[in-house]
């Protein structure tokens, strides 16, 4: 087994493959856009390169479809399961997440916050609506991890709505 440094993208790929029997990079991309993409941004190209890298290191197996487009199919190996399990149980540092928000950057440098706030309010209200609908759909299911992170997202959106409303107080369309 080749020794490589595992990254957050590595663990995303391993975690997704823990949930399904096998997947193509396109399948992984679809899975990310349906959930993890709401809490962790990554470029789709990473989901094509990372499985190959993990396969070369022995964390995944790679096969090709017999017919059709001969797509690459990946499965997690016991070494991949072990690495993912160790990562899940490892103690986390108490570092805060990195915040990279172009709207806040513009406000910081003196842009008029009102037009920015109006656009941000629209976007955050829409995301809150989406999350709330998803929460209702997941209520009563056995998806504790996704539901817990979804609720964090709901709180996040509510706080952004409060913040941007404070910057555009005459906006009467509050959530």
Range of the domain at 34: 8-89
Last residue of a domain, one of 34, 66, 89: 89
CATH number at residue 83: 1.10.10.10
Q: Which helix (H) or strand (E) holds 5?
A: none
- What is the rounded CA–CA span in Å between residue 63 and residue 121? 46
Tokens (6 digits) for 118: 């109006």
HSE-CB of 74 using CA atoms within 13 angstroms: 29
- Let me know if residue 3 belongs to a domain: no
What's the mean pLDDT in 143-159? 89
What's the mean pLDDT in 52-59? 96
What's the mean pLDDT in 13-31? 93
Query: Confidence band (pLDDT; 50, 70, 90) for 175?
Result: very low
Of how many residues is the chain composed?
Answer: 175
Last residue of a domain, one of 67, 89, 111: 89
68-125 pLDDT, tens digit each: 778 899 999 999 999 999 999 887 777 788 788 999 999 999 999 999 999 999 999 9
- Let me know if residue 37 belongs to a domain: yes
Regarding beta strands 72-76 and 60-64, do their DSSP bridges make them parallel or antiparallel, or are they unpaired?
antiparallel
């Amino acid at each position: 087994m080749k020794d490589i440094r595992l990254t957050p993208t590595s663990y995303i790929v391993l975690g997704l493959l823990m949930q399904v029997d096998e997947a193509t990079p396109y399948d992984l991309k679809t899975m990310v856009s349906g959930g993890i993409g709401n809490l962790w941004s990554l470029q789709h190209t990473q989901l094509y390169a990372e499985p190959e890298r993990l396969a070369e290191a022995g964390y995944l197996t790679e096969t090709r479809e017999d017919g059709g487009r001969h797509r690459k199919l990946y499965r997690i190996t016991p070494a991949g399961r072990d690495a993912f399990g160790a990562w899940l149980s490892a103690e986390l540092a108490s570092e805060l997440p990195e915040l990279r928000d172009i709207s806040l950057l513009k406000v910081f440098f003196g842009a008029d916050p009102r037009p920015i706030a109006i656009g941000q309010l629209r976007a955050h209200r829409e995301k809150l609506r989406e999350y709330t609908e998803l929460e209702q759909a997941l209520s009563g299911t056995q998806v504790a991890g996704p539901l817990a992170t979804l609720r964090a997202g709901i709180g996040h959106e509510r706080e952004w709505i409060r913040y941007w409303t404070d910057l555009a107080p005459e906006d009467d369309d509050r959530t």
